[in-house]
Each structure stands twice: as C-alpha cells, then as structure tokens.
Structure 1
Amino acid sequence: MNLRIEVKKFNELNLVELYSILQLRSEVFVVEQNCVYQDIDGKDDKALHIIGFKNDKIVAYTRCFQPGFYFNEAAIGRVVVKDSERKFGYGHDIMKASDKAILDFYKTSNIKLSAQQYLIKFYKTHGYQTTGDGYLEDGIPHIAMVKD
C-alpha cells in the first residue's frame, strides 16, 4: 500500500494530526529507543511537517526547517517511521518527500541533518554524505550529514 504524504505548516495541522505526530515521535524516540529527552522543544511551530498516512493513520513523519534556522543549510529532523511499518520502505518515501518539500518551499537542495550513526547507509541512499566527527546526542551516537 502506498503512503499518502501531506506537507503542512504548523497552523495547518489539526489537533488529531498534532497529537498523532507527537505520539509517534514519543513512541519511537522516547520509548523504543529508551531515550529521555525534550521532544516537544518549542520549534514545531517553525517547521514544515511532512506526514505519511497509511489508512488515515500517521505512520511516517519528518519536520523540516528553512536555511539558517538550525544550520546554514535547510534541515530535516525527527525522521520517524512506526516500528510495524518499517518493512514497507516508508522511510525512503518520507525522505524523498522531505527533500522535495525543502526544494518546493525553501528553493534549495542544500540540506543538513543529524543522523543516528546506524542509519548512515540509509541516508547515503538519498544522496547524503557524512561530514565531521561523530558525537553523542541525547546519549545516542550521531553524525552530521549533508546533501547538495
């Protein structure tokens, strides 16, 4: 089944969508990865939200930022796919949609993200390359990756 993807600004999200997004992020980043951190960081209102729906349920998501907000480049973060849906390639679908949304909304293909190191190969399939040394972010090994 194909993923239906919508791109929305914060004020375009309805309450059910916002709740479902926050629930998915918490389910994966806090519970599954056993990482206590401040997911609701006060930046969602500045983000472009890329939402992947399957049967009207949110199963994939990213948030994107314009150049200069996080990095000099545009940024993609909170890349997440529901555990039970990972076998369908939805991570690739949501990344392609995120790259396209940044190009459409911010008129750039120069993008940076902070990747969990075990996902380097995944991001490389989308044209991202590692830059700099690895680092710990919330106790999880990460590395910066960029795409031009």
Structure 2
Amino acid sequence: MLEQNCLYPECDDKDLQSLHLYAQHEGKIVAYARLLPAGTSYDDLSIGRVVVHADFRKYGLGKLLMNRAIAYWETHAPGVAIRISGQLYLQRFYEGLGFQTVSEVYLEDDIPHIEMLRH
C-alpha cells in the first residue's frame, strides 16, 4: 500500500466475503492474495491484492500464490472465469498463467492497469 502510494484502507467490505491466501516466513506474512467470489468485485470470480514482500520476490512466491489461487477456484467453481485487474508491467506474468487482456490500459491510483480474464 505505501510502496505504491495507494493510501486507502486495506480492509474493506469485500474482505468479509473473500478468502485470504498467504505465505508466512518465520511467523510473518510475506505473500498475500484475496480470492473474491463472483459478484464481489466482478460478475466473475476474481483474485486481487496480490502482493509479495520485496525481500521475497526472487523466490517465485507470486507465481506460487497465483497458481494456488487459480487451483482453488478451479476446484471449487470449475469452468467459471476468473477476472483480475493487473498492473500493466505484469501483463506477461499473468499471460503466463493463462489470463488474456480484455480491456484497454486504465489508471488505478495513477498506476497503469489492465483487466484480464482466464477461462
């Protein structure tokens, strides 16, 4: 939140409806993603607020976290699309996980984003 100068409450009403996936190291959370049911952020399922602590980005936790989130939705809601709002610089990363770009670039908190969908 502070690293990207996105000053808004971290917890919101969507948290109460979401599942929270995270990784710990020595008792501290080092990676996190929020799994949002359909109808929470989008009509589709969603994965959001994906974050990995800067000291742990070199270990592939982002990919592991996303693969676990995708696997969860594929198990609990097979055949339902997953929609994300991803930072533009991560487009290839998300494409490597099976997401396709479905929007033009837009700014969210002054950061270029794209909406992506995984069928």
Please report how far the alpha carbon of residue 125 of structure 1 lies from its aligned counterpart in structure 2 after TM superposition.
1.1
Please report how far the alpha carbon of residue 108 of structure 1 lies from its aligned counterpart in structure 2 after TM superposition.
4.0
Please report how far the alpha carbon of residue 61 of structure 1 lies from its aligned counterpart in structure 2 after TM superposition.
0.8
The alignment-based identity, stated in percent, is 39
Looking at structure 1, the residues matched to 75 and 24 of structure 2 have their Cα atoms a distance apart, in angstroms, of: 20
Alignment partner of 2:92 out of 103, 121, 131: 121
Runs (5+) with no aligned partner, structure 2? none
RMSD: 1.4
The structure with the largest helix share of the pair is: 1
Within 5 Å, which residues of 2 pair with 1:1-148?
A: 29=1, 31-148=2-119
Runs (5+) with no aligned partner, structure 1? 1-28
Q: Give the structure 2 partner of residue 20 of structure 1.
A: none
Looking at structure 2, the residues matched to 100 and 68 of structure 1 have their Cα atoms a distance apart, in angstroms, of: 19
Looking at structure 2, the residues matched to 99 and 109 of structure 1 have their Cα atoms a distance apart, in angstroms, of: 11
Normalising to structure 1: TM-score of the pair?
A: 0.74
Residue by residue over 1:72-117, the C-alpha shift from the partner in whole angstroms, topping out at 9 and shown as x without a partner, is: 2100000000010000000000000100111233334510000011
Q: Is the 8 A contact 2:86 2:114 kept in 1?
A: yes
Normalising to structure 2: TM-score of the pair?
A: 0.91
Looking at structure 2, the residues matched to 111 and 46 of structure 1 have their Cα atoms a distance apart, in angstroms, of: 16
